[in-house]
Amino acid sequence: MTGTASGAQTAALGPVHAQLVRVAQAEADRILTEALVQAAAMLRQARREAQEAVRQARVQGLADIAPAAAAERRQGREQARLIVFGARRQALEELRAGALAAAGGLRDEPGYEQLVARLTAMAGRAAGPGAIVTVHPAGGVVARSRQALVDCSLPRLADLAVDALGDRVRVLWTP
């Protein structure tokens, strides 16, 4: 009887067992669905946090690099200014050299003797009584007296000619 009773018990418990399996399956499905929903929510939250962390890192990186970038820009501007100033200085030096060469070339011109005579008279008057006027080795004259020194040498006159250009060339030596 034991074997028959156990079979009858099993048969009687079959619907209960089936119900328990269905309830367990339903509970497992519910738990799985809830776990999937929670996992999706956690994944969305993790993505938001990751995006926020990346944004904050980008902002912090930009803030960290800002002083270095500003220093780099300042250095670039200073280098550019020095390059421009150097080019201006070179242009001014070339202008002065050209003026000096042109002035020196006057010594080979036919009217140079008359120019020296006029410069001698002018420098002597400007230096005052007792002035001694001498010919400058580079051309032109220099007058000396107790009161003054008047330089009418060709190099000095070339410099004065460049300086007389004023605003037209002042940009060459203004930083």
Over the stretch 14-38, which tens digit does the pLDDT of each residue have?
787 777 778 778 777 788 788 788 8
Which pLDDT score, from 0 to 100, does residue 41 have? 86
Q: Enter the tokens of residue 82.
A: 């020095």
Start-to-end C-alpha separation, the chain: 119
Which of these, 148, 149, 120, lies nearest to 135 by C-alpha position? 120
Q: State what percent of residues in the chain have pLDDT above 70.
A: 94
> Is the overall model pTM greater than 0.85, yes or no?
no
What DSSP designation does 143 have? Answer: E
Tokens of 156: 């000095």
The model's confidence at residue 95, banded by pLDDT at 50, 70 and 90, is: confident
Q: 138 and 153 in contact (C-beta within 8 Å)?
A: yes
What is the rounded CA–CA span in Å between residue 121 and residue 58?
Answer: 78
pLDDT of residue 155: 94
90: its two tokens: 């070179």
Show Cβ contacts of residue 159 under 8 Å, excluding neighbours closer than 6 positions: 96, 99, 100
pLDDT value of position 170: 66
Of the candidates 150, 172, 153, 151, which has an alpha carbon nearest to the alpha carbon of residue 163?
172
If you average pLDDT over residues 58-70, what whole number do you get? Answer: 87
Residue with tokens 């497992």: 28
**pLDDT of 113 above 90:** yes
Question: Which range has the worst mean pLDDT, 14-23, 58-67, 78-87?
Answer: 14-23
Q: What is the pLDDT of residue 117?
A: 95
